Structure 1
Amino acid sequence: MSKESEKQGLTRREFLNATAMAGVAGVSLGGGLMGMSPAFAAKSASGNATVGLGELDEYYGFWSGGQSGEVRILGLPSMRELMRIPVFNMDSATGWGMSNESKDVLAGGGGPYFNGDAHHPHMSMTDGRYDGKYVFINDKANTRVARIRCDIMKTDKITSIPNVSAIHGLRVQKAPYTKYVFCNAEFRIPHPNDGRDLTDPSKYRTMFSAVNAETMEVDWQVIVDGNLDNTDADYTGKYACSTCYNSEGGVTLAESIANERDWAVVFNIPRIEKAIEKGMFTTLGDSKVPVVDGTHGSKYTLYIPVPKSPHGLNTSPDGKYFVANGKLSPTVSIISISKIDDWFAGKLKEPRDTIVAEPELGLGPLHTAFDGRGNAYTTLFIDSQIAKWNVDDAIKAYQGKKVSYIKQKLDVHYQPGHNHTSMGETRDADGKWLVALCKFSKDRFLPVGPLHPENDQLIDISGDEMKLVHDGPTFAEPHDCMIVHRSKMKPLKIWKRDDPFFANTTAMAKRDGINLTTDNKIIRNGKKVRVYMTSIAPSFGITDFKVKKGDEVTVVITNLDMIEDVTHGFCVVNHGVSIEIGPQQTASVTFVANRPGVHWYYCNWFCHALHMEMRGRMLVEA
């Protein structure tokens, strides 16, 4: 592209139109531009929420990809899928799991694993408000936590959590900033899990872990009784609270649901940190992570009895309450955070004194969301409903006053799990939208075989009554989501040349004496060959290179285009090689050239009117 067109700040559409004319007429790229084509309109099903021609959604939604191992970005209220972010999975489109940069990230997860069970995406915060910096997500299948950078929407760190099995619940510390990512390990195992005590469940334990949000190292862990489920944090930075089932310590279904009550476990963060500072901890096996004892009777934890097998744990946006959802009980337990203060100060006799209400909502309450106006919304899995109820009224009813706390019940289709309100996990809960993530979709969509899609439903909660305005199919059980206003997000349009995402590749090029933005060179070191090339639509800087059979080939490509959305790809035919290179990005891939002959490589991301001609040859000598 010419320097003149760079100065003009062309859009991708203008750039493509201009270069198409240049390719056909043989004129310079700086010639006249074609008129812009009209944009497409996208409408939600709501009568009062239309995302019209050329308009943008008001919110970003980050959806977990469940068993796919990815995270998806949706626009709200249109519910259009905007992007998929590969995290724990391999992805042919972007080359995640194939590019050297993504392999570096995946290596941090202790693999090689190419599957994931991604459940709970949550964004970093400052003073209880989203800051648009990171989204964190767990992998239950392989006991990992990943971090996504929101400026590039790429996974940049994956951490394997030691001493535990199956990370399930995950939330961030909300205040004063996200220092920690709190992680619940669900399954109980012997400590250390090295082959001893295999058949003695009395020796099994699990842990609550605190991952440092910046280093992605595990700063400390707390041993608990029971199986940890979901978690959330308060708005002061003092407490995290987790639901905990299997107080029986069983290993079978019957053994795990015998007791009438299990717990909500509160973790006193300042006390835990002080214990670590004073060296009041132990370590397990080869891990150097400090571990403190948070079992019953510990000064670091509070076990609050709640009805058996509680599931979701949610914090009200006013910072006053934790809500533990009953699952096997028709109730939710409202826990006063100020009374937790009293308990740790020795002012309360019984842990249950921290509970200020247990409203009965319906069958199978799993998760609760909030609108910032004093109302809560709880999914009823068995009833296939959302229950809207008022928190203050529920507390009054618990005190014996005659007041109706349930405001409405809305049918959803079917068996809702998580639900989330717009900005509802922050101080900025705005009470506009609620999303219900339903586990079953039978009879809602065209049949596609025995495996059905899930069903995401959008509900308008801006008025006095909930109104279901949209539902749509989605694949591989998006388990959870979060909804953030677009004003909080500042994603890049093109890469920064000094981005740390490809720092290792930049360092390799420096050792080879390569300028990534100008050089198109081949470096040979025995059976290792490094091919450095640039790309600018519609050509690669090197259109053929020669190697010998069995050579380990590393191809490094720098995309010199300055126009947003002019992404290139590098795909080698019959070699299982495919990567994405965004504008101003450097990306690399390493493979073995084990097939003699002519092997074409080409750009597999449409980038130009002459996109089909953007190709080259790898010549492999026998």
Structure 2
Amino acid sequence: MSNKDNHQEPSEHVKLSRRLFLGGSSALLATAAAGGGLSLASAPALASDDINVKPGELDEYYGFWSGGHQGEVRVLGVPSMRELMRIPVFNVDSATGWGITNESKRVLGDSSKYLNGDCHHPHISMTDGKYDGKYLFINDKANTRVARIRLDIMKCDKIVTIPNVQAIHGLRLQKVPHTKYVFCNAEFIIPHPNDGTNLKNLDTAEQYTMFNAVDAETMEVAFQVMVDGNLDNTDACYTGKYAASTCYNSEAATTLGGMMREERDWVTVFNIPRIEAAIKAGDFTTLGDSKVPVLDGRKGSKLTRYVPVPKNPHGLNTSPDGKYFIANGKLSPTVSMIEIDKLDDLFDDRFEDPRAVIAAEPELGLGPLHTTFDGRGNAYTTLFIDSQVVKWNMADAIKAYNGEDVDYIRQKLDVQYQPGHNHASHTEARDADGKWLVVLCKFSKDRFLPVGPLHAENDQLVDISGEEMKLVHDGPTYAEPHDCILLRRDVLNPKKIWERDDAFFAETVAMAKEDGVTLERDNKVIRDGNKVRVYMTSVAPNYGMSEFTVKQGDEVTVTVTNLDMIEDVSHGFCMVNHGVSMEISPQQTSSVTFIADKPGVHWYYCNWFCHALHMEMVGRMLVEPA
């Protein structure tokens, strides 16, 4: 049943007027959407007092932002929106030595050859449907990887490359009883085998993409499920039974026109217990050199169901009450509410029409992309083309869909401009608290000082604690922070100094032990042919070794152990003109390997300011000519 008769025009709900930005098809579409009646009034003043975190006070939430094309995760305090730290993941970072040190190269593994990353979706591990603060997971669309960050040390400790697929995009976690699986979608359809042998007959070659599950503890791929169409975003239910993913290219097309040909695409629903049972029964195959179980979830499979939804859906979000998957229309003004309690009947073939699981399809505006929630029955959806966030009530949307004369839209708020993801505090968990909403806007246009053709993007903070949304802060951000997640600070307790037995540098400690070195005490040089291992301690403001000698062409490994016990007294090691730098925080051991290819005197210095005599914290490497 249509809800068209109950739909209200967007202008009736707009509380704030938008600055009409210049040029571009988005502006024309937004004008058309509002009947040409956009206000030229300037953007409203921000209620800065609402987010004032005074000197010496702490933010209420940690915010973890994907670093987009930078390949990192950024840590912000919310509501102050102050950047606290950057966690390198898929990038090279000279400050910490990520991608340079031996410890980080072990984590990166074979994929350390890639110098780029494209982070999209950060998500926090859960226990019983609530964040447990143990891990944060994030994808790399550019190089088909998934990474895990230990939140106690804010360091990436595991990275896995997903085999048999290309471009990991949507990523979400199993919520109950705990995060056993990291669910991640491969977006692009590829031929199998993809070894170039079928390039001349691609039209007849077997082609598909896959839904993937990674074991959250081992970070090994647990299984892959072949699907029809492609996959975009994903989420999981609160029973542990179902995951669902949007498909915007059910046509399996390779061109823009082909991908928009059909009026409906679908949401693919995955039955996790059936998948696990099929693996246990041996009902799977493998591809190529990979040993990962691959199951067939294409149409007709007992493992999946395909729910038709309007057109080119994008975001897929689970309501915190566990009742609905929300699929966002993108090229339709609607979102589709899939009733999770009806999925058992769908999988047991009690419904002939898979759309029997649709509880409502409210019209919200142009370009709905992502939906988040306040835990009070309200949903908040970004409208990319309208440059708005719409607040709507889920129960009223269902009533309107069933023919009742009720208005489900509570408010529309102008944001600047073209929002993609939005995220409300604790919204992916059972205890969504409805305090803050972050809107990640793709365009900033005239909001900030011009900085050349490449513009900053714009993160905006909205107070959603009351009846009306209130924009309270915006600020520029670089290189597309695609998504974010908010975590109450009481859930997280990061370490202030390292523990000496930490697994992060355990392999380096083991190597020192083989050399008969006690890292906490010894400063020595060990030569093994043309391989030289230099062990030294550091205590502000000096290294335990101020000089060592090697030969030209030697492979030199320098291992530094910071013996300081005071938090915030980090040291660094930078070997001048050798592309070497790294961080060594209190009680940490870090190591780096390089070739001493230049004869002569080469200084090394502490590149993290640690002491009043920091400039004097130096040493020399003497390289004898070959």
Which residue matches 1:35? none
Distance 2:582 2:112 in 1: 21
Distance 1:79 1:245 in 2: 33
Q: Is the Cα contact below 8 Å between 2:51 and 2:472 reproduced in 1?
A: no
Q: Per-residue displacement from partner, 1:581-600 (whole Å, max 9, x unpaired)?
A: 01000000000011111111
Which residue matches 1:129? 130
Which residue matches 1:155? 156
Q: Per-residue displacement from partner, 1:341-394 (whole Å, max 9, x unpaired)?
A: 221233222110000100000000000000000000000000000000000000
TM-fit CA distance, 1:503: 1.1
Q: Per-residue displacement from partner, 1:64-112 (whole Å, max 9, x unpaired)?
A: 000110000000000000000000000011111110001111115x341
AA at the equivalent of 2:132: D
TM-fit CA distance, 1:196: 2.9
Which residue matches 2:225? 222
**SS at the partner of 1:48?**
helix
**Structure 1 residue corresponding to 2:613, chosen from 610, 615, 618:** 610
**Structure 1 residue corresponding to 2:501, chosen from 493, 498, 501:** 498
Which residue matches 2:419? 416
**SS at the partner of 1:259?**
coil
**Structure 1 residue corresponding to 2:375, chosen from 372, 376, 380:** 372
**SS at the partner of 2:232?**
strand
**Structure 1 residue corresponding to 2:97, chosen from 83, 86, 95:** 95
AA at the equivalent of 2:186: A
**Structure 2 residue corresponding to 1:558, chosen from 553, 561, 566:** 561
Which residue matches 2:202? 200
Which residue matches 1:435? 438
TM-fit CA distance, 1:272: 0.2
Distance 2:235 2:326 in 1: 10
Q: Is the Cα contact below 8 Å between 1:249 and 1:256 reproduced in 2?
A: yes
Q: Per-residue displacement from partner, 1:548-583 (whole Å, max 9, x unpaired)?
A: 111110000000000001000000111111000010
Which residue matches 1:145? 146
Mark the CA change 1:138 to 1:126 in structure 2 (over 3 Å): closer, same or farther. same
**SS at the partner of 2:48?**
coil
Distance 2:248 2:105 in 1: 36
Distance 1:45 1:547 in 2: 61
Which residue matches 1:117? 118
Q: Is the Cα contact below 8 Å between 2:222 and 2:293 reproduced in 1?
A: yes
Q: Is the Cα contact below 8 Å between 2:99 and 2:112 reproduced in 1?
A: no
TM-fit CA distance, 1:313: 0.1
Q: TM-score, normalised by structure 1?
A: 0.92
Q: Per-residue displacement from partner, 1:396-441 (whole Å, max 9, x unpaired)?
A: 0001001000000000000000000000111010000000000000
Q: Per-residue displacement from partner, 1:275-295 (whole Å, max 9, x unpaired)?
A: 000000011111110011000
Distance 1:251 1:348 in 2: 33
AA at the equivalent of 2:484: C
The aligned runs of 1:501-520 (5 Å cut-off) are 501-520=504-523
Distance 2:152 2:375 in 1: 28
AA at the equivalent of 2:339: S
**SS at the partner of 1:588?**
strand
AA at the equivalent of 1:464: E
**SS at the partner of 2:507?**
helix
AA at the equivalent of 1:212: D
Residue 65, structure 1, aligned to residue 67, structure 2 = yes
The aligned runs of 1:531-546 (5 Å cut-off) are 531-546=534-549
**Structure 2 residue corresponding to 1:312, chosen from 307, 315, 333:** 315
Which residue matches 1:22? none
Distance 1:310 1:135 in 2: 26
AA at the equivalent of 1:410: L
Distance 2:198 2:120 in 1: 30
AA at the equivalent of 2:171: L
**Structure 2 residue corresponding to 1:488, chosen from 487, 491, 500:** 491
Distance 2:514 2:493 in 1: 34
Name stretches of at least 5 consecutive residues in structure 1 with no aligned partner. 1-43
Distance 2:53 2:305 in 1: 47
Residue 360, structure 1, aligned to residue 363, structure 2 = yes
TM-fit CA distance, 1:201: 4.5
The aligned runs of 1:227-238 (5 Å cut-off) are 227-238=230-241
Which residue matches 1:86? 88
Distance 2:281 2:387 in 1: 50
Q: Is the Cα contact below 8 Å between 2:47 and 2:471 reproduced in 1?
A: no
Distance 1:391 1:346 in 2: 27
Q: Per-residue displacement from partner, 1:249-273 (whole Å, max 9, x unpaired)?
A: 1111111110111000100000000
Distance 1:48 1:181 in 2: 36
TM-fit CA distance, 1:308: 1.7
Moved over 4 A (4+): none
The aligned runs of 1:338-487 (5 Å cut-off) are 338-487=341-490
Which residue matches 1:243? 246
**SS at the partner of 1:67?**
helix
Q: Is the Cα contact below 8 Å between 1:201 and 1:249 reproduced in 2?
A: no
**Structure 1 residue corresponding to 2:56, chosen from 42, 54, 59:** 54
AA at the equivalent of 2:437: L
Which residue matches 1:547? 550
Distance 1:201 1:366 in 2: 32
**Structure 2 residue corresponding to 1:582, chosen from 585, 598, 601:** 585
Distance 2:96 2:534 in 1: 20
Distance 2:146 2:170 in 1: 11
AA at the equivalent of 1:66: G
**Structure 2 residue corresponding to 1:292, chosen from 270, 273, 295:** 295
Q: Is the Cα contact below 8 Å between 1:331 and 1:359 reproduced in 2?
A: yes
Distance 2:191 2:443 in 1: 36
Q: Is the Cα contact below 8 Å between 1:201 and 1:250 reproduced in 2?
A: no
Distance 1:246 1:87 in 2: 30
Distance 1:239 1:488 in 2: 26
Distance 1:196 1:369 in 2: 45
Which residue matches 1:175? 176
Distance 1:617 1:562 in 2: 26
Q: Is the Cα contact below 8 Å between 2:317 and 2:372 reproduced in 1?
A: yes
Q: Is the Cα contact below 8 Å between 1:190 and 1:196 reproduced in 2?
A: no
Q: Per-residue displacement from partner, 1:181-223 (whole Å, max 9, x unpaired)?
A: 0010000001221113335245210000000000000010000
Cα RMSD for the two superposed structures: 0.9
TM-fit CA distance, 1:48: 2.6
Q: Per-residue displacement from partner, 1:582-621 (whole Å, max 9, x unpaired)?
A: 1000000000011111111010000001101101010111
Q: TM-score, normalised by structure 2?
A: 0.92
**SS at the partner of 1:130?**
strand
Q: Is the Cα contact below 8 Å between 1:457 and 1:470 reproduced in 2?
A: yes
Q: How many residues align?
A: 578
Distance 2:98 2:497 in 1: 19
**Structure 2 residue corresponding to 1:105, chosen from 100, 104, 107:** 107
Q: Per-residue displacement from partner, 1:165-194 (whole Å, max 9, x unpaired)?
A: 000000010011000000100000012211
Distance 1:504 1:45 in 2: 51
**SS at the partner of 2:113?**
coil
Residue 184, structure 1, aligned to residue 185, structure 2 = yes
TM-fit CA distance, 1:245: 1.7
Q: Is the Cα contact below 8 Å between 1:139 and 1:168 reproduced in 2?
A: yes
Which residue matches 2:4? none
**SS at the partner of 2:108?**
helix
TM-fit CA distance, 1:49: 2.9
Which residue matches 2:27? none
**SS at the partner of 1:555?**
strand
